[in-house]
A = this chain, B = another copy of it.
């Protein structure tokens, strides 16, 4: 009934995405609706779907556009949002998440997408795909709506790890620059390092150290380093890539989301206030929808895991079919551009510089 992509990844020119069908808040029907949406728009994409095969086959058979474009891997278990990463690493072998990553590991898919538990997905990704040589901490990068011409800025790390030292931050800068080149098409991305002020004497010690390291690497890394940036620059025009540790990054994006949601709620309330304002909201509806689309988190759904042997995209757990489809498109775009190989080459080409960095770092420590 369905095509079985071969070891090299399906029909020539087709990009195969391995999809964890389970683990999202709304279950596999939303994931299947998402791949169906994606298949309609993109003739060059194929899927390997991981989860309870019988249930998944039923859902897929209802979508004619998916005929011959989906392979199945039967998995009885599911990683829940409550499962601890350490526990999943020990006993998660039968889960759809584990299986989805193994399709990338085994070379039968070009990238993996999951809506599941972020911590578990990162822990399993590190175990199954392994870190790139020279990478100490992988990072999760997201696209954040911004006033820059490309419409988005890259921000990392937004939650792979709660800590990052100066050398980790340098690697985030390199990986973020590579992602901005392949994901946003920026030839020479501008990198900013997140701090509480833009003066060089401000902030934590590891940030001053990272400032020196990133500055030294800018020329060879083919990016511009704009120095320290502040929280207000994350949606701003000062940098294309904002580098920070996973704790700060996670708090920042959630604060931004919370603020955007509060304004949306208050705006809705304001428009309901009087007959005149209700009329205004009808007249303004296309303008407001254009704005909504511009900052719609579903359009930029997908945190990319950087620093691993392979492409892994984490979709929001509460993603709807549009959101799932956006995450699939992101994995497709990166796979097609050969991002994983380029990133690996970039990190490898800096392994020599890496030695210098370690030396510089040890000198920067007082």
Picked from B230, B258, B266, the residue with its CB within 8 Å of the CB of A251 is B230
Contact B258 A233 (CB under 8 A): yes
**Shortest Cβ gap from A216 to chain B (Å):** 24
* Residues on B with beta carbons closer than 8 Å to the beta carbon of A291: 263, 266-267, 269-270
Contact B194 A251 (CB under 8 A): yes
Contact B260 A159 (CB under 8 A): no
With contacts A204-B163, A284-B271 taken as known, whether A253 is within 8 angstroms of B266 at the C-beta atoms is no
Chain A, residues 283-304, CB within 8 Å of chain B (1/0): the string is 1101110110011000000000
Name which residue of chain B comes closest to A203, CB basis: B162
CA–CA, A201 and B83, complex, Å: 11
Contact A232 B250 (CB under 8 A): no
CA–CA, A359 and B138, complex, Å: 37
**Shortest Cβ gap from A278 to chain B (Å):** 9
Contact B204 A162 (CB under 8 A): yes
* Residues on B with beta carbons closer than 8 Å to the beta carbon of A232: 254-255, 257-258, 261
CA–CA, A267 and B250, complex, Å: 26
CA–CA, A299 and B145, complex, Å: 27
Picked from B234, B269, B295, the residue with its CB within 8 Å of the CB of A263 is B295
* Total chain A interface residues with beta-carbon distance under 8 A: 62
CA–CA, A244 and B196, complex, Å: 14
* Residues on B with beta carbons closer than 8 Å to the beta carbon of A286: 274, 276-277
CA–CA, A265 and B290, complex, Å: 13
Chain A, residues 196-236, CB within 8 Å of chain B (1/0): the string is 10010101100000000000000000000000001111111
Question: 29 A-B residue contacts at CB 8 Å?
Answer: A147-B265, A162-B196, A196-B246, A204-B247, A231-B254, A231-B255, A231-B256, A231-B258, A232-B254, A232-B255, A234-B259, A235-B258, A247-B248, A248-B248, A251-B251, A255-B255, A255-B256, A260-B263, A263-B263, A266-B291, A266-B295, A271-B284, A276-B284, A277-B283, A277-B287, A279-B283, A280-B281, A280-B282, A284-B284
Residues in chain A within 8 A of chain B (CB atoms): 82, 84, 145-147, 159, 162-163, 194, 196, 199, 201, 203-204, 230-236, 244, 246-248, 250-263, 265-267, 269-271, 273-274, 276-277, 279-284, 286-288, 290-291, 294-295
**A235-B261, A270-B287, A277-B283 given; 10 more Cβ-contact pairs under 8 Å:** A231-B251, A231-B253, A232-B255, A232-B257, A234-B255, A234-B259, A271-B284, A276-B284, A277-B284, A280-B280
